[in-house]
Structure 1
Amino acid sequence: MKRFAFACYVSAATLLFSRCTTVIDAKLDTGPSELSVDGLITDQPGEQTIRLTQTAGYFDSSTPPAATSATVTVSDDAGKTYRFLDPDNDGYYVWQPTGKDTLGRVGRTYQLTIVFRGETYRATSKLNRVPPVDSLVFVKRKINPISTTEGYRAEFYSTDLAGATDYYRVRFFRNGVLQNKARNIILSEDGAFEGASQVTDGLLFIAPIRLSVNPDSLYKQNENVKIELHSVSADAFRFWNLLRGQVTNGGLFATPPANVPTNILNANTSGPKATGFFITSAVRSLSATVSTPNLRERPY
């Protein structure tokens, strides 16, 4: 009787759930195309580039169409204006320096202005200070404790600038190639994690940040590694933080997708919106080769 009753419960549950299954043919509206801005201005010598594209449908995997025929300028709070041109008509707007002139200077505030399809978009960013990268060393390690495969782990050293809360982004290159996976979006507040500035202001970057410049596999002998330390504003820090969260959002405990905020604003508040972010950064870098002079012994 017990086996019969259990079989009846299973049959009833199966029938219930099978009747609750509904096929939904969702037709997603792609919505209007928006201007997308990828703008990074630095204090480094050479040309500066701002890329403009147009957004596409969620399921469209093709390259976003370029936003051409726009007027792009950057002006600073010292009264100087820099014009960006798109000579190849591909959405890459470039400012070319004359002589040894540089566009970005620490302490100045910059405004980006874009006129596109009758709309005027603006964004503002201050170029903050950044400390130097003091050294870059390598330690021989196994991929994991039970593996026989060995390689080298990189570690850079830098000291946070004292007296204020500073925000940084760390980028690293392997043999000249930027490592740009989601896990490689490395952010730091005063040389530590977010919220630790009251403890770490003016101190050496903490070990997890110093050791974050490693790819999935260990480095090999004679490979070249370059570290770039970028200053970012508090708003840009939040942008990168949220973007990293959205890119890595997945799995059992994933949260609903959300739009990442932008600082690109349409002067016409009822006009079409824009996406992306305008960032200004001071950059300090250091390169080193995995070779005997740069090898160190570490207990961890």
Structure 2
Amino acid sequence: MNSITKYIAFLLMAGSIMACEDTIYPELADSEPVVSIDAFVTSQEKTQVIKVTKTQYYFDKNRPAGVSGAQVSITDDQGKVFLFTESNTDGWYEWDPALSDDSLGLPGVEYSLSILAEGIEYTSTSITQGVPKIDSITFNFEPENEISLATWFAEVWARDLEGPGNAYWIRGWKNGEYLSKPAEILTAYDAGFSRGSEVDGLIFITPVRSGTGINLSSDEDPDTGKFLPSYLDGDSIYVEIHSVSETTFDFLNLMKIQIDRPGGFGELFATPIDNVPTNIIPSQEGVKVVGCFNVSTVSSFGKKLVAENETP
């Protein structure tokens, strides 16, 4: 068999293998539910919520079961106590800043979390860091090409605070809808993506200020197969920058790795699914808990895209 014949045979064999795709539904072993704590609290003047729920089966699409009757509080380093009371949703505990003279999320203040649930106390601490002011939002136009429809891309301009070790969670909304896909989790360390870069005190680098999370992740147009636009004339964008601790920075990035799965052939080389390390400590040895506690100060900025006011 000559080389050309071998090559054709190889292509035919490879094509037949790739065409044989079956959908499978693996049977996963049952696991004992553990407490999950979502305690991301901010300086914003709106009701703050701490969610205490139970983990569930991987393919269960129902809302996680809430843990009712817990005692939930945050105490600052001056002894001020912020009591969270259970809402009408089981396991959701709320504190309303409008009903208090005290403030959460003050930079430089250490906050301690205490949750007593089902006879076990869960504790954690978080020191609130500063956050840069958002200077402006601009839009850049990209004409239609071979892979993407015509689109405007947003850029958020802000300068990292002086001093190394500042970490941020950047969150975006398009037309009032939160960009909540796993691929749209956007974090920054100083003005870059990770530790070790010499970008302290600089304007956020391009992959941060125009990253996925500010702009949409890639979805395809079913008619053309090209990527859909991030923004079009008349769309609006709203962005928040949350200060986070280094522990929370790591938590968010590890969480993104776990839930933003590539699927298909690439999944063979992906990081195995595992619980993300938590900064919450149970009082009883051997008890498992998942989740994270962080108190953020927040800056925000919004803008509507008026194409005639932008430079194409």
TM-score, structure 2 length as denominator?
0.81
- In structure 2, the partner of 1:264 is 280
CA–CA distance in 2 between the matches of 1:196 and 1:181?
27
CA–CA distance in 2 between the matches of 1:72 and 1:234?
24
* SS of corresponding position for 1:238: helix
* SS of corresponding position for 1:245: helix
- In structure 1, the partner of 2:251 is 239
CA pair 34-74 structure 1, distance change in 2 beyond 3 A: same
- In structure 2, the partner of 1:192 is 192
CA–CA distance in 1 between the matches of 2:116 and 2:234?
48
CA–CA distance in 1 between the matches of 2:49 and 2:248?
18
CA pair 147-107 structure 1, distance change in 2 beyond 3 A: same
State the one-letter code of the partner of 1:260. V
1:273 aligns with 2:274: no
* SS of corresponding position for 2:137: strand
Cα deviation per residue 1:186-242 (whole Å; 9 max; x = unaligned)?
Answer: 111111121244x11011111111111111332011111011111110100110111
Larger Rg: 1
1:253 to 260, 263, 269: 269
1:57 aligns with 2:64: no
* SS of corresponding position for 1:134: strand
Cα deviation per residue 1:126-168 (whole Å; 9 max; x = unaligned)?
Answer: 11011011100112223x5237842311111111111231111
- In structure 2, the partner of 1:210 is 209
State the one-letter code of the partner of 1:296. T
Query: 4+ residue runs of structure 1 moved beyond 6 angstroms?
Result: none
Shift in Å, 1:292: 4.4
Cα deviation per residue 1:244-298 (whole Å; 9 max; x = unaligned)?
Answer: 111124423113222200111111223x22111111111101000001475234x
Query: Given that residues 30 and 56 in structure 1 are in contact (C-alpha distance below 8 angstroms), is that contact kept between their aligned partners in structure 2?
Result: no
- In structure 1, the partner of 2:140 is 139
* SS of corresponding position for 1:85: strand
- In structure 1, the partner of 2:306 is 291
- Cα RMSD of the aligned pairs, angstroms, is 1.9
Query: Given that residues 51 and 92 in structure 1 are in contact (C-alpha distance below 8 angstroms), is that contact kept between their aligned partners in structure 2?
Result: yes
**Could you tell me the percent identity over the aligned residues?**
35
Query: Given that residues 85 and 94 in structure 1 are in contact (C-alpha distance below 8 angstroms), is that contact kept between their aligned partners in structure 2?
Result: yes
CA–CA distance in 2 between the matches of 1:148 and 1:121?
48
CA pair 273-139 structure 1, distance change in 2 beyond 3 A: same
* SS of corresponding position for 2:250: helix
1:182 aligns with 2:182: yes
- In structure 2, the partner of 1:173 is 173
Moved more, 245-254 or 116-125: 245-254
State the one-letter code of the partner of 2:275. N
CA–CA distance in 1 between the matches of 2:44 and 2:162?
23
Cα deviation per residue 1:103-139 (whole Å; 9 max; x = unaligned)?
Answer: 2211111111111111111111111011011100112
CA pair 45-293 structure 1, distance change in 2 beyond 3 A: farther
- In structure 1, the partner of 2:21 is none
Query: Given that residues 233 and 307 in structure 2 are in contact (C-alpha distance below 8 angstroms), is that contact kept between their aligned partners in structure 1?
Result: no
Query: Given that residues 107 and 128 in structure 2 are in contact (C-alpha distance below 8 angstroms), is that contact kept between their aligned partners in structure 1?
Result: yes
CA pair 35-192 structure 1, distance change in 2 beyond 3 A: same
State the one-letter code of the partner of 1:241. N
State the one-letter code of the partner of 1:223. D
State the one-letter code of the partner of 2:272. P
* SS of corresponding position for 2:86: coil
Q: How many residues align?
A: 269
CA–CA distance in 2 between the matches of 1:227 and 1:123?
28
CA pair 147-183 structure 1, distance change in 2 beyond 3 A: closer
State the one-letter code of the partner of 1:124. T
Query: Given that residues 190 and 196 in structure 1 are in contact (C-alpha distance below 8 angstroms), is that contact kept between their aligned partners in structure 2?
Result: no
State the one-letter code of the partner of 2:271. T
State the one-letter code of the partner of 1:280. V
Moved more, 150-159 or 97-106: 97-106
